[in-house]
Structures are given as structure tokens and as C-alpha cells.
Amino acid sequence: MAVIRTPRATVQLALTASLLALPGNGEATTRAALVPGATNPAVTQANIGQTICVSGWTKTIRPAASYTNTLKAQQMVKFGLKGTPHDYEEDHLISLEVGGNPTDPNNLWPQSWTGPRNAHKKDRLENLIHRLVCSGKIKLAQGRRELSKNWVGAYRNRIGPMP
């Protein structure tokens, strides 16, 4: 193991180590370093009326369960997550409803069904952001950014505190 002696490098090394140490219950507080998010290049602000804002559109691009279940199992091992695959949803960080990439592993991650930052809570935020984008209250880029950069903060700002 290399010893890095500059203060900045020490802080970066400590931060990197903390980002990679996923909690055993699968909460995604440290997910950003491992799954940064990816967008669907077929979805733009100019065409949301023909894509994400059309009822049922996400069904046309949603990946097969065989793909997401295989990826979920691989990521659970890679990220050191405890439990069984049934304890997690293979979630799109940037949801399909706001033009997230359907199959890029950089946009998919195992999110716990339980705990304070669970898949049900994120689904609620995803639906709200979809409505805001499609109603023109926020731009597509803002919705994507809120989900990919800090969905927990976006949840608190838009919906309220988490338990």
C-alpha cells in the first residue's frame, strides 16, 4: 500500500475509500463513485413531447429483466452488498422517465427496497420530477441532474424529510 504524504492527496484518498465502502444494508449514500448515471441520447429537451412525456413510452425501452437481474447480481458482488437479489431493485439512477440510459451499467445500481433511502422513496421523486419536466416547470437537464447528483437532497427539497 502506497503512502501519500500531501494533505490534499490524503483527503482524496480518505474520501475515495469512504465512497467505495457501501453500507451493508444497501443504502446508496455512496453510490455516486460507483454509478455516476448515464443519459439516453435519444431523449432531448426538444423531443420530450414525443418520448418521455408520452404515456407508456418507457415500456418501449425498458431492458429485459434477464439483463437487469444478471447485472444486479454482478453489482451486488462488486459493491459488497448483503442480502439476496430480492432485497434490491436494479434501479436507473437517472430514471427512464427523464431520459436515463436504459442499459448502461453506469446508470443502473441495486437499490434496497427497505431503509430510509429505499427504492419506493426514489420512485416517488422520479414521478414528481417527470411531471415537472413534462409540464415545463423544470428543464430536462435539471431533472436529470437532481436524480444523478443528489437524489436524497432533491427528495428533501421537493417532497420533505426522510425518516
The answer to whether the beta carbons of residues 35 and 26 sit under 8 Å apart is: no
The answer as to whether 90 is a domain residue is yes
**Residue 35's pLDDT is what?**
86
The pTM (predicted TM-score) of the whole model is 0.80
Tell me what pLDDT residue 63 has. 97
C-alpha cell of residue 4: 501519500
Q: Is 80 helix (H, G, I), strand (E, B) or coil?
A: coil
**Which residue segment(s) compose the domain that 65 sits in?**
7-158
In a domain, 1, yes or no: no
Count of domains observed in the chain: 1
Evaluate whether residue 2 is within a structural domain. Answer: no
Task: Profile the chain (163 residues) by mean pLDDT over runs of 10 residues.
Answer: 35 29 40 83 98 97 97 95 96 97 96 92 96 98 95 94 79
CB 37 within 8 A of CB 147: yes
Q: What is the pLDDT of residue 32?
A: 62
Q: What is the pLDDT of residue 20?
A: 31
Q: Is residue 163 part of a domain?
A: no
